[in-house]
Structure 1
């Protein structure tokens, strides 16, 4: 029954999501093919569970490898296409696709699926905001993906309430059903499940479920082992030994862009994308003669300044340090991701400014951009400078601290805490 239920999930909401992705096309359609492969890999895993007893932990990791590899491929596709006009679509999927890791969660996997579904809705909301007035297919696409994960949660709750159910029967797993399903990828000897964060949680639940037996392996402390009764036991080696005076200290890793890799600088146009990478100490970067549907992607640059002339779709600064960007007009948004000490100035109009994992961001607005929408997360030291009539600016800090209050049945109410220092 669990296999049939999962096949219904694939034939229903998954197919709807794939069909809508194909209609949108581009990176969204390519991403959907990877998502389909991940669900197909999980179907084969559930078929194995329905025909055999629970394997050892090592064999279970090997059986989970195909699903894990597809999840990694989905997330890597997003990282390789940060300049895509459908970046929010790719992010919505990548943030929530770890929901397929429910098969390794016990004893309550269904809430984990909901948790992953909620994690992706930050980006589905951005897709709705950007596309609801332009193309209704994107609205249907968001609903289809959220519905798919909601149905997955209901399926898990119905058939695998306390964790994936193994039939207990012996024998080899059945071959995959016909229908052109691609064969599973080769099993790797070592599998990295770090993206799924499942093994540690499963191991924790296994320890807790021992009940009273959890203390069976603890050693009893006898009186001759107690330091307050035996002062000679306190004369052991110190727990920490300071480094010799004058010895070189290991530097801590820097956040943001960190040390600039020793790679040649890049300034090129690739179709609709302008790629500006590994620039160092270059204050004269200029993009001009760009089309309205172009995107400028600035990656791993340091101590550099970029000027974008004309009207284009969007600008992205990724892992840049001490960089500045000046542009005329944007159709979509300017984004700062994993940056440090960056500045931007808009001379015309920009609808949206996105700041994510960035420390230090100065935003200079124009009179035409006073209605801009600013979305920030996991960032600090953000300031918006609004122009005055005399050519000066008024500085407004963006709140970094919030207060949340429970309002009974109404749920949570969150308000920003203003910095009055």
Structure 2
């Protein structure tokens, strides 16, 4: 079912995406032709896997080259058309098309497809924001592309849960299962018949002389057998209740010596237990952790850099696109991140700098003092929260960045001039709010002439 399932994606949501792309025209239409070729190349690869045993690693690289070349062509087209009015469309596809790389991912390729789908969401949201009021076909274009990746994720999860399945792998598994079944049946020295397995069921043996497994106990019938016992129990209960005052004859009488208000000695005893009241911890990390030794570890997809002091040579290398870098309580340190990753977060850092190539989502500064960042490529969003002193050095590719700041001061953005120098522009910190038309608020920036 693997090949027909993938063909359904090509002939379904992908065909709808191609149709709408042709209607939009221009760069989107030309870009969609490369997308179509990439999916067709992967379909041929899946057809090969459905009829062949798994080849050597070198052969796998050769077989994957057509798909890889198409993905590179899609991304190169975006880079060559950065001035296009439909640049957000091209970026949405370029950021998420690596989802076709699931064929080389194991043991969980389906989550990888979702991560690549999420990577393009920043640009699909931009397309929706720009075109939802002007032209609805762009909205339908976004829906068709997202549905294509969603169905690709469902296809991978259903047919290739732990990685691409090759035909030889299934045949070897089936042969081993048949051999094991034969050995079990021969041990009984009885004639058997094999029952053909249904989907998601195991093979089982049916012996003519006795069953292969113990029969299940019969289901409980509430209208027979036990019902009579239940009625007897209820009759006994009502008989006890109908005794009237005689029902208390079996109870022991409480004498004066047993009553605490008549026997003061019974009131003496240990003091009642008072639980210790602990103060609630409002911070995510307690203050007692400030003296911990420095650490630089990778935990799954997260790079944890904590308690570094005076270290200017911290480097994150060989990071993948779905990785995140998290800095906590670092002082007088510099971190360099090589390659494109998902996001970077600086939490409670002081006099710390971070230099990185490119990000899929954002870089965040939280509870920091005197920090700096420099991006060499692309960063979509910069978030500054409860931070005093933040220098943001942008590249020419990141001039469309969105900067979100709150409860922060001394923030400056440095824009490249082109001659190696920068233009420094402060981010506003003071605002003036007035009531407009007695029903809404109007907020404007208050410039400090100093």
Q: Taking CA–CA contacts closer than 8 Å with sequence separation of 6 or more, which of the two structures ends up with the larger relative contact order? A: 1
TM-score (norm 1): 0.45
- Normalising by the residue count of structure 2, what TM-score does the alignment of the two structures yield? 0.42
